[in-house]
C-alpha cells in the first residue's frame, strides 16, 4: 500500500489546501509533503537491489472488462526518481513560504503535481501511466499561467501544446501494443514487441519518442523550455528542471529501450548526435544570456543532451552515467533556480548587469552559489563529475566523434557558469545593487533549511555515487543484454 499512499497523500493534501483556512494552508502543505518524504523511507530500507523484477507491487481492478487495472510497482530506477521528487517537494513548499497570491491554489498545484509524478514513476499499466503523464501537465500549466511573469500565458500555452501534441502519438502506439499483447501491463510487452518487424518497431519507437523527446527536451524540440523557465515562479522552475524533465528520459527507459531493440540499433547513432548537438548548442546559447534564469534554463537543455547520449550509448557505463546525470541535475538545477529565486525576491531583477558584489554583502548565499556552480561544472569530488564522466566514457565506444563534440560543450558549460558566478558575486557592484543594498540580506534560517539538503548531497553523491548506482544496477544489467542481443551480427567470410 506504500506506493498508492504515496500517490494519494499529496493529492488529498492538495484538495485540503484548496478549502483550508488561509492561515493553515502553508503548514498543511509542508506537513503533507514531509509525509510523502517519510513514506519513501520504508521504500528505501525495504528495497532489495539484487532482486529481479518490480518490488512493492500493487494491483486493483479499474476497468477489468477492457483489461485495464491499477497496477503499481518500482525498480531501482523508479525508486531513485521517487526519492528525488519527494525530496524536492517540501523544499519548494518551504521556499515558497512568502507566496501570498491565492496561496491555497498555489500549494495545491505543487502537491498535486508531486502526487501525479509519483504516479508516473509507480504505474505499470500503460493507461494509468498515460493518465498520470498527461495530468502532470495541468498543475505546472497553472503554476506558469497564474503565478508566472509578464509573458506567462504565452509560455504556459507553448509548454502545454508542445508536450500534449507529442503524447497523442504515444497514446495511439500504447493502445496498439496493449491490444496486440492482450494486456496493458507494459512490463509484459517485451516478447511481443521484440517480434515485431523492423519497420513497425521504428514507427512505434517514433511515436513514443515524440512524447518523451519533448519532455527531455531533445534538440530541436527544446524551444518551449527557456520560455517556461523564465516565466514560471521559482517553485515551478525547480520542479520543472528537477523532476519533470526526467519524465521523458524515464519513458525512454521504460518503453523505447526495452521494447524496440532493432529500432534502437538503427536510430541510436542519430539520437546520440542530436544529444551532442544539444550539449554544444545550448551551452553556447547559455554563454550569451544576460538573464541568469534563462542561462540556467539552457544549461538544463545542455545537461539533458548528455543524458540522451548515455541512454542510447548501448553500454552499461553510459546508462549508469545517464541515470546519475538525471539525479544530480535534479539536485543541482533545483539549487540553482532556488539561488536565482533568492536574489529575485530581494532585488526583483535577473539581469547580470544589475548584479555584482554579493559575495561581500551575502557571504552565506555566495557559499551556496559557489558549491552549486562547482557541481554544475562537474568538478571532481562533486556529484556532477561522476555522472558526466561515466556518460561520456560510455558514449565514446558507440559514437566517438559525437562524444568529442559533446566534450567541448562541457568545457563551454564551465565557461558560462563561471561568467554567471562572477557576474553575481565577484564583479564590482552595479549601481542597482548600491541603490538596493539594504535589500541584500543573507540567507535566512528558513532558506538555509531549503538549501542544506541539496548542498549536502553534492559531496555525498560525489564521493559515494554507489549510494545511487546500487539502486539501479540490476535493471541496467537486465536492459543492456536485451538491446545487444538483437544488434546486427557481422557476416562470416565463409557464409554465402
User: Cell triple for residue 121?
Assistant: 514513476
Task: Give the pLDDT of residue 482.
Answer: 57
pLDDT of residue 491: 41
What is the grid cell recorded at 195?
A: 517480434
Cα–Cα nearest to 169, from 198, 134, 135: 134
Give the mean pLDDT of 155-181.
84
Tell me which residue has cell 477489468: 64
8 A C-beta contact, residue 167 and residue 134: yes
Digit-coded pLDDT (tens) for 32-46: 999 999 999 999 999
* Whether residue 192 has pLDDT greater than 90: no
Cα–Cα distance, 421 to 427 (Å, whole number): 9
Dihedral of CA 14/16/22/26: which sign?
A: negative
Average pLDDT over the chain reads: 87
Query: Are 329 and 400 within 8 A, CB to CB?
Result: no
Give the pLDDT band (50/70/90) at residue 371: very high
Residue 250 pLDDT > 90, yes or no?
yes
In whole angstroms, what is the distance from residue 427 CA to residue 440 CA?
A: 16
pLDDT above 60 for 187? yes
Q: What pLDDT score does 483 carry? A: 55
Task: Look at the alpha carbons of 423, 427, 430, 434 in this order and tell me if their dihedral is positive or negative.
Answer: positive
Mean of the pLDDT values across residues 343-349?
87
Contact 113, 189 (CB under 8 A): no
User: What pLDDT score was predicted for residue 495?
Assistant: 40
Question: Across residues 418-446, what is the average pLDDT?
Answer: 87
**From 55-64, 272-281, 473-482, the region with the lowest mean pLDDT:** 473-482
Joined grid coordinates for residue 472: 539501479
Span 321-345, average pLDDT: 92
Confidence of residue 481 (pLDDT cuts 50, 70, 90): low
CA distance 318 to 213: 18
For the segment 73-92, what is each residue's pLDDT rounded down to a tens digit? 999 999 999 999 999 999 99
- Out of 162-166, 247-251, 465-469, least confident range: 162-166
- Helix intervals (H) in 355-465: 358-361, 363-376, 383-395, 400-421, 431-435, 445-463
pLDDT per residue as tens digits for the range 389-424: 999 998 988 889 999 999 998 888 889 999 999 988
What is the predicted pLDDT for the residue at 436?
82
Label residue 486 by pLDDT band (50, 70, 90). very low
Q: Is the pLDDT of residue 191 over 50?
A: yes
- Amino acid 372: pLDDT: 94
Q: Which ranges constitute the DSSP H helices of 216-291?
A: 224-231, 234-239, 245-251, 257-259, 261-287
Give the pLDDT score at 118: 95
- The residue among 141 and 484 whose pLDDT is bigger is 141
- SS3 assignment for 127-191: HHHHHHHHHCHHHHHHHHHHHCCCCHHHHHHHHHHHHHHHHHHHHHHHHHHHHHHCCCEHHHCHH
What pLDDT sits at residue 488? 41
Contact between 329 and 388 (Cβ < 8 Å): no
Amino acid at each position: 500500500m506504500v506506493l498508492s499512499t504515496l500517490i494519494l497523500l499529496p493529492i488529498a493534501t492538495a484538495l485540503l489546501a484548496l478549502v483550508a483556512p488561509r492561515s493553515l494552508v502553508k503548514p498543511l502543505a509542508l506537513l503533507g509533503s514531509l509525509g510523502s518524504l517519510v513514506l519513501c523511507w520504508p521504500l528505501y530500507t525495504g528495497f532489495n537491489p539484487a532482486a529481479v523484477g518490480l518490488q512493492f507491487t500493487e494491483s486493483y481492478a479499474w476497468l477489468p472488462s477492457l483489461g485495464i487495472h491499477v497496477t503499481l510497482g518500482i525498480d531501482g530506477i523508479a525508486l531513485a526518481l521517487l526519492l528525488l521528487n519527494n525530496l524536492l517537494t517540501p523544499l519548494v513548499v518551504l521556499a515558497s513560504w512568502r507566496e501570498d497570491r491565492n496561496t491555497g491554489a498555489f500549494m495545491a498545484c505543487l502537491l498535486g503535481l508531486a502526487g501525479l509524478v509519483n504516479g508516473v514513476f509507480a504505474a505499470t499499466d500503460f493507461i494509468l501511466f498515460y493518465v498520470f503523464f498527461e495530468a502532470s501537465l495541468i498543475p505546472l500549466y497553472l503554476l506558469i499561467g497564474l503565478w508566472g511573469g509578464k509573458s506567462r500565458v504565452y509560455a504556459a500555452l507553448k509548454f502545454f501544446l508542445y508536450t500534449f501534441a507529442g503524447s497523442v502519438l504515444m497514446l495511439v502506439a500504447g493502445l496498439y501494443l496493449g491490444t496486440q499483447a492482450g494486456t496493458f501491463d507494459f512490463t509484459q510487452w517485451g516478447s511481443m514487441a521484440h517480434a515485431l518487424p523492423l519497420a513497425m518497431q521504428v514507427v512505434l519507437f517514433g511515436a513514443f519518442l515524440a512524447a518523451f523527446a519533448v519532455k527531455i527536451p531533445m534538440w530541436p524540440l527544446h524551444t518551449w523550455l527557456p520560455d517556461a523557465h523564465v516565466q514560471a515562479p521559482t517553485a515551478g522552475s525547480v520542479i520543472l528542471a528537477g523532476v519533470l524533465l526526467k519524465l521523458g528520459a524515464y519513458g525512454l527507459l521504460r518503453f523505447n529501450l526495452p521494447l524496440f531493440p532493432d529500432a534502437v540499433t538503427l536510430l541510436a547513432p542519430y539520437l546520440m548526435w542530436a544529444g551532442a548537438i544539444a550539449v554544444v548548442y545550448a551551452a553556447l546559447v547559455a554563454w550569451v544570456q544576460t538573464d541568469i534564469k534563462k542561462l540556467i534554463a539552457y544549461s538544463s537543455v545542455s545537461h539533458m543532451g548528455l543524458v540522451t547520449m548515455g541512454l542510447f550509448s548501448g553500454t552499461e557505463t553510459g546508462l549508469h552515467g545517464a541515470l546519475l546525470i538525471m539525479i544530480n541535475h535534479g539536485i543541482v538545477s533545483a539549487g540553482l533556480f532556488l539561488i536565482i529565486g533568492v536574489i529575485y525576491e530581494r532585488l526583483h531583477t535577473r539581469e547580470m548587469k544589475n548584479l555584482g558584489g554579493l559575495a561581500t554583502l551575502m557571504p552565506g548565499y555566495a557559499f551556496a552559489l559557489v558549491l552549486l556552480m562547482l557541481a554544475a561544472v562537474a568538478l571532481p569530488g562533486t556529484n556532477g563529475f561522476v555522472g558526466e564522466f561515466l556518460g561520456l566514457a560510455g558514449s565514446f565506444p558507440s559514437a566517438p566523434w559525437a562524444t568529442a563534440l559533446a566534450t567541448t560543450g562541457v568545457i563551454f558549460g564551465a565557461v558560462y557558469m563561471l561568467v554567471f558566478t562572477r557576474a553575481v558575486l565577484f564583479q564590482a557592484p552595479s549601481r542597482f545593487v548600491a541603490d538596493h543594498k539594504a535589500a541584500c540580506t543573507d540567507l535566512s534560517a528558513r532558506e538555509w533549511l531549503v538549501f542544506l539538503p541539496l548542498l549536502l548531497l553534492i559531496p555525498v553523491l560525489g564521493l559515494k555515487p554507489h549510494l545511487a548506482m546500487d539502486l539501479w544496477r540490476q535493471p541496467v544489467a537486465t536492459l543492456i543484454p536485451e538491446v545487444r542481443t538483437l544488434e546486427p551480427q557481422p557476416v562470416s567470410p565463409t557464409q554465402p
